[in-house]
Amino acid sequence: MTGTDHAILVLRLAAPLQAWGGSSRYNRRETRPQPTKSGVLGLLAAAEGRDREASLTDLVGLQLGVRVDQPGTLLRDYHTYSDYRGLPLLSAKANAKGQQTKTTPPKYTGVTQRFYLQDAVFVAALRGPKALMQSVEEAVRNPVFPLSLGRRSCPPTGPVSLGLRADTRLEEVLKGVPWQAGSHRRRQAQGATVSLQATVEDPAGDQLAVDVPDTYDLKTGTRFGRRAIRHVWVTVPTGHAQPAHPAADTGTAGQSAHDPFALLGW
């Protein structure tokens, strides 16, 4: 249901690097192919200046929709680390006093891997009470803490807020926002419209996402709850009245030559 007491905030999530890791921890930090609810709510909490221990009760109830305007590519960042004093690294084990023990045999170099999405662009739409959404939108435009897309090392490119929309279905909002892909991707478009993948939070959805945070408190750690979602495709204009590139070759009877890489955006 929709009503005048609700509104929808639209965000543009674009950066050279993004990382939506969900529950991945320790020395291997993965990323999901699109923004998680935990990551998006974390951005809002940072904008409002909330401490990590602050309650998220008002935010977790927001309904989230995400559109993939430019999927980007996966990047693996490989690191080695060591103690600058030349001491053995600590192990994951603890002694009777609760102190971490050193590695046995001594280990002086460790390996950690971080995964990122590079050159990705997403549109996120959040539906909630109008007063809350107005407050959050103002905070995103004037954030207390620096905004990041999943990790602190991933600041956004350009303004994040695309403004508030009147209350309606999230799917309709995602259809109405202009295509936000970069200039290179837009030049590759060969028609007047483009079909984009989207994920919409819906109590009647047929799939589950485990990415709803209960807290960002580092002492207790975050436990992730479930939400129902559904995957859809939305069609938006590219801005091209005609195909961006005329067919380089045609077959018999005027048919266009087959391009097996067209669906990959190459």
Residue 188, pLDDT above cutoff 50 = yes
Per-residue confidence (pLDDT) for residue 260, from 0 to 100: 67
Please tell me the distance from the alpha carbon of residue 162 to that of residue 36, in angstroms, as a whole number: 19
With beta carbons less than 8 A apart as the criterion, state whether 80 and 111 touch: yes
> What's the half-sphere exposure (Cβ side, CA atoms, 13 Å) at 135?
10
Mean pLDDT score across all residues of the chain: 88
What is the band of 101 on the pLDDT scale with cuts at 50, 70, 90?
confident
Q: By percentage, how much of the chain surpasses pLDDT 90?
A: 64
Nearest to 162 by CA among 148, 186, 149, 178: 178
What is the band of 254 on the pLDDT scale with cuts at 50, 70, 90?
very low
Q: What DSSP string runs through 2-22?
A: --TTEEEEEEEEEEEEE---T
With beta carbons less than 8 A apart as the criterion, state whether 36 and 23 touch: no
| CATH tag for 6-264 (out of 3.40.1190.20, 3.40.50.1100, 3.30.70.2660, 3.90.1070.10) | 3.30.70.2660
Please tell me the distance from the alpha carbon of residue 63 to that of residue 256, in angstroms, as a whole number: 43
Question: From the CB of residue 105, how many other CB atoms can be counted at a distance below 10 Å?
Answer: 6
Residue 53, pLDDT above cutoff 80 = yes
What is the band of 29 on the pLDDT scale with cuts at 50, 70, 90?
confident
Question: Is the whole model's pTM more than 0.85, yes or no?
Answer: no
Mean pLDDT, range 82-93, rounded to an integer: 85
Phi and psi at 126, nearest 5°, equal -120, 125
Q: For the chain, which residues make up each domain, given as ranges?
A: 6-264
Per-residue confidence (pLDDT) for residue 21, from 0 to 100: 83
Question: What confidence tens digit (pLDDT) does each residue in 57-77 have?
Answer: 999 999 999 999 999 999 999
Mean pLDDT, range 196-202, rounded to an integer: 97
